[in-house]
Chains A and B, each alone.
Chain A
Amino acid sequence: MEQLLEQLFNGLQLGFVYALIALGYTMVYGIIRLINFAHGDVFMIGAFVGVLGYSSWGLPWPVAILLAMAVCAVLGVVIEFLAYRPLRHKGAPSIAALITAIGVSFFIEYFTSLDFVFGPDHRVVKLPFDIKRYSVGGAVVTNVQLLIFGVVIVLVLFLQYLVRYTKMGKAMRAVSQDMDAARLMGINVDRVVSFTFFIGSALAAAAGVLFAFAYPQIKPFMGIMPGLKAFTAAVLGGIGSIPGALLGALIMGQAEVLTAAYLTTDFKDAVAFAILILVLLVKPAGLLGRSGPEKV
Chain B
Amino acid sequence: MKRVHALFLAAAMVIAAGCGGGSQSSNAPSNACPSSNAEKQIKIGFIGPLSGDVKTYGLSALKGFNLALEQAGCQAGDLGIVAVVDDDRGDVNEGQNVFTKQVSQNGVKAIVGAVTSNVTVPLSVKANDQKIVMITGTATADNVTVDDSGNRKPFVFRAAFADSYQGTAAAKFAVEKLGAKKAAVVYDKSNDYTVGLSQSFRTEFEAQGGEIVSFESYGKDDTDFSAIMTKVAAANPDVLYIPDYYNKASLIGQAARTKGVQAAMIGADGWDSTELNFEVMQGGYFTAHYSSDDPAEAVQQFVKDYQAKYGERPDSFAALGYDATNLLLEAIREAKTDDPEQIRQALQNLKDFPAVGGNLSFDEKGNPVKGATILQVNADGTYSFVTKMEP
Which residues in window 214-264 of B have CB below 8 A to A? Answer: 216-219, 221-224, 226-228, 230-231, 233-234, 247, 250-251, 254-255, 257-260
Q: Is A3 an interface residue (CB 8 A)?
A: yes
Residues of chain B having any CB pair with chain A under 8 Å: 189, 216-219, 221-224, 226-228, 230-231, 233-234, 247, 250-251, 254-255, 257-260, 275, 277, 279
- The one of B221, B255, B257 in contact with A225, judged by C-beta atoms closer than 8 angstroms, is B221
Which chain B residues border A6 with CB–CB below 8 Å?
A: 230
With contacts A140-B259, A266-B189 taken as known, whether A261 is within 8 angstroms of B217 at the C-beta atoms is no
Contacts of A13 in B (CB 8 A): 226
- Are A216 and B216 neighbours in the complex by a CB distance under 8 Å? no
Docked Cα-Cα span, A54 to B64, in Å, equals 45
Residues in chain A near residue B222, CB distance under 8 A: 265
* Cα–Cα distance between A257 and B217 once the two chains are bound (Å): 13
16 additional A-B pairs beyond A3-B234, A215-B254, beta carbons within 8 Å, are A3-B231, A6-B230, A121-B275, A124-B277, A140-B230, A214-B226, A215-B251, A217-B223, A217-B247, A217-B250, A225-B221, A256-B224, A257-B226, A260-B228, A261-B228, A266-B189
A183 vs B219: C-alpha distance when bound (angstroms): 48
Complex: A216 Cα to B219 Cα, angstroms:
17
Among A14, A122, A144, the residue within 8 A (CB) of B224 is A14
Name the prevailing secondary structure of the A interface residues. Answer: helix
- Chain B residues with CB under 8 Å of A124's CB are 250, 275, 277
Do B258 and A131 touch (CB < 8 A)? yes
Contact A265 B251 (CB under 8 A): no
| 13 A-B pairs in the complex with CB atoms less than 8 angstroms apart | A6-B230, A7-B227, A7-B230, A121-B275, A126-B279, A140-B233, A142-B258, A215-B223, A215-B255, A216-B251, A217-B250, A225-B223, A256-B224
Q: Contact between A269 and B251 (Cβ–Cβ < 8 Å)?
A: no
Query: Which residue on chain B has the smallest CB distance to residue A259?
Result: B227
Asked if A191 is an interface residue, CB under 8 A from chain B, the answer is: no
- Find the residue from A6, A144, A260 having the highest chain B CB count within 10 A: A260
Q: Determine the chain A residues whose CB is within 8 A of the CB of B260 once the complex forms.
A: 133, 140
Q: Which 9 pairs from chain A and chain B are nearest by CB?
A: A260-B227, A10-B226, A215-B223, A257-B227, A261-B227, A124-B277, A122-B247, A225-B221, A6-B230
Partner of A261, one of B189, B219, B230, B250: B230
B142 to chain A minimum Cβ distance, whole angstroms, is 23
- Please report which residues of chain A, range 119-143, place their CB below 8 angstroms from some CB of chain B when the two chains form the complex: 121-122, 124, 126, 131, 133, 140, 142
A193 at the interface (CB under 8 A from B): no
- Cβ contact of A10, chosen from B218, B223, B230, B234, cutoff 8 A: B230
Give the contacts of A174-218 with B (CB-CB under 8 A).
214-217
**Complex formed: what's the CA distance from A65 to B251 in Å?**
22
Q: Do the beta carbons of A10 and B251 come within 8 Å of each other?
A: no
Q: Which A residues touch B216, using CB under 8 A?
A: 265
Report if A222 contacts B (CB, 8 A): yes
Per-residue CB contact flags for chain A residues 1-27 toward chain B (1 = under 8 Å, else 0) read 001001100110110000000000000
Contact with B along A235-274 (1 / 0, CB 8 A): 0000000000000000000001110110011101100000
A residues in contact with B217, CB < 8 Å: 264-266
Residue of B nearest to A224 (CB): B221
Q: Please pick, from B224, B228, B230, B275, the residue contacting A215 in the complex, using a CB distance under 8 A.
A: B224
- Per the bound structure, the CA–CA distance linking A121 and B218 in Å amounts to 21
In contact, A10 and B227 (Cβ under 8 angstroms): yes
* Chain A residue nearest in CB terms to B254: A216
Across the two chains, which residue of chain B brings its CB closest to A122?
B247
Across the interface, name the chain B residue whose C-beta is closest to A17.
Answer: B224
The answer for the CA separation of A10 and B260 in the assembled complex, in Å, is 14
| Chain B residues, Cβ within 8 Å of A261 | 227-228, 230-231
